[in-house]
Amino acid sequence: MALHSRLILSGCVATLLFVAGTASTSSAQQAPASTATSGLAALAAIAPVVDCTSLSSADISGPVGAPTHIDSATAVPDGKPAPYCEVKGHVDAKINFVVRLPLAKWTQRFMETGCGGLCGWVNVRTPSNADGCIPATNGELVLASSDMGHGGNSAASPENGTWGATDYQARIDFAYRGVHVTALAAKALIVKYYGQAPKYSYFDGCSDGGREALMEMQRFPKDFNGIISGDAALNFTTQNTYFQAWGRRTNTGADGKAIFTEDKVPLLHKAVLDQCDAADSVKDGLISDPLACHFDPVVIQCKPDQDPATCLTPEQVRVVRDLYMGAHDSAGKRLIVGGGLPGSEVNWVGRYAPAAGKSLPIHGMANNVFKYLAHWKNPPESTTVLEMGYDRAGFESTTELHALYDATDPDVSEFVANGGKLIQFHGLTDPGMPPWQTILYYTEMQKVMGKSTVDKFARLYLFPGGNHCSGGEGPFRVDFVSALMAWVEKSQAPYKLIASHLPSDSIARGSDQGAKEVQAETPDRTRPVFPYPLTAKYIGTGSTDEAKNFVEGQPSLAPESLADWYGSSFYTPHYELWCTGNGATMDCKKTQ
């Protein structure tokens, strides 16, 4: 038997263990042997060299590369988690940003956080996936975020897209420019305030923030040393049109009412669990490997004289199959990467399955993107997303700005050359962003750059029972920030991570913008997660709610057919458009 090293991370301390075993498919992703026990570089705390209020007159337009205006600079002595200097400003045209610089004990790290939905508000904050990471929880990080070039939205209402109707520069700022200029502004302010640049720079985002994270890696590979991308809307043009509108289209009968309704969801979910729950050697209400769960709802189709409350009609079976498959044309060719995974059914209520006798509303995000963002020339105001064409012509029209909004470039060689590290993650019961598209992007990077290269800089973690960015029935709380810092600063590549679940996590909370940390709760379940394509498997003894009783399971690979969809060409390296806007026009070119 061979000895191989595996890095197990908990909080900001990384412990390298030597485990007896044979070589496995994951050996390329195992951390190198090391005697180090700390996952962080030992960085001295740096004190400010100027007063906070002096930043109100700072001129940082040069480093940003665009006219930049400081609106205010205020010391916040009672700031949480530690006192900070808050700087508010904007970059022309109107990218509003907020930067928080610790008044004391800044340990030379900078982190920018992304937004969700269609953005439109500044939500600077300590990342929600940093619980236990000392620099984050002690307030030692410079934090920054932006509204991505437009206002009018909030965490509670992130779907408004009317700002894109006549302001094409706002489209560009949302697509890729907002995060970049905010990073430049924050770094310039750091130099002004502390007299030196950050040693390490990080980005953390989920949902659209996950798309923003990948966009930074692809377009601006020198901005950040490490990036976390969760439940990413990376296929923005199809995700926020075809995917969001598909439930309404496929689950509406001739009478305008839904075919598959909320009352049938528990029945469907139970049937899926009956078939696939125990595949990981334990029946615990979670499907550890939904990629290998090939469920056909025909197994619960009504038989003659069966009580209709206990089964699905043939038409309901058709709808459920369509929901698993995702939007497609009349010949079955997929218009998106894929639909919901088996096990996600409990999250379909209100999105795919309304109350009996009701119809699904037109999805606000899909309608706004289709009307105000997706096209070179907007359709008439009376148009709705229901008028999309579900064929080649409709697809090409709806995705004509793919090269502006989507973050699907698989060749990130410059990011790798700069020593950049990427952690991707996705909840496997996410009803809002199909996990398939995250998996496909990861595998496309492997095809273009080679698996060995991708293993050196990227990890993908999939979470059974994890909803959209947070919450769900499965453990979905992981200190990714510590894992990323250990990788960037000490070359300790993450492998086995421990996820936890709190009782309140079973209440869906939407994107990370609305995630509520419940500090007083005690985890009721923990589970290890391994890099894709590995799964976790129960050892057969001990509590199924304790991570120590699970080991590395068999790899589960997505099917090769995953890449066979209308947008397969979207993964061509360096397809991006670089644009400038003027009113309701844009001037774009292929190279920056």
pLDDT in tens, the chain (592 residues): 233 333 434 345 433 332 323 333 343 454 332 223 368 999 999 999 999 999 999 999 999 999 999 999 999 999 999 999 999 999 999 999 999 999 999 999 999 999 999 999 998 999 989 988 999 999 999 999 999 999 989 988 899 999 999 999 999 999 999 999 999 999 999 999 999 999 999 999 999 999 999 999 999 999 999 999 999 999 999 999 999 999 999 999 999 999 999 999 999 999 999 999 999 888 999 999 999 999 999 999 999 999 999 999 999 999 999 999 999 999 999 999 999 999 999 999 999 999 988 889 888 999 999 999 999 999 999 999 999 999 999 999 999 999 999 999 999 999 999 999 999 999 999 999 999 999 999 999 999 999 999 999 999 999 999 999 999 999 999 999 999 999 999 999 999 999 999 999 986 443 343 344 445 689 999 999 999 999 999 999 999 999 999 999 999 999 999 999 999 999 999 999 999 999 999 999 998 7
The residues near 350 (Cβ < 8 Å, ≥ 6 apart) are none
* Residues 17/30, Cβ–Cβ less than 8 Å: no
- Indicate the domain borders of the chain: 52-235+412-560, 239-402
* Residues 54/41, Cβ–Cβ less than 8 Å: no
Q: How far apart are alpha carbons 185 and 65 in whole angstroms?
A: 9
Q: How far apart are alpha carbons 61 and 304 in whole angstroms?
A: 74
What pLDDT score was predicted for residue 38? 61
What pLDDT score was predicted for residue 591? 82
What pLDDT score was predicted for residue 519? 53
Complete DSSP assignment for 554-591: ---PPPGGGG-STTGGGG-TT---EEEEETTEEEEES-
Amino acid occupying residue 245: A
The answer to whether the predicted template modeling score (pTM) of the entire model surpasses 0.85 is yes
Query: Any long-range contacts for 255-260 (C-beta under 8 Å, 24+ apart)?
Result: 256/359, 257/357, 257/358, 257/359, 258/353, 258/354, 258/356, 258/358, 258/359, 258/360, 259/313, 259/315, 259/316, 259/319, 260/312, 260/316, 260/319, 260/320, 260/323, 260/352, 260/353
Q: How far apart are alpha carbons 136 and 495 in whole angstroms?
A: 22
Handedness of CA 531, 536, 542, 545 (dihedral sign): positive
Q: Which CATH number fits domain 52-235+412-560: 1.10.1050.10, 3.30.470.20, 3.40.50.1820, 3.20.20.140?
A: 3.40.50.1820
What pLDDT score was predicted for residue 24? 37
**Widest CA span in the chain:** 81
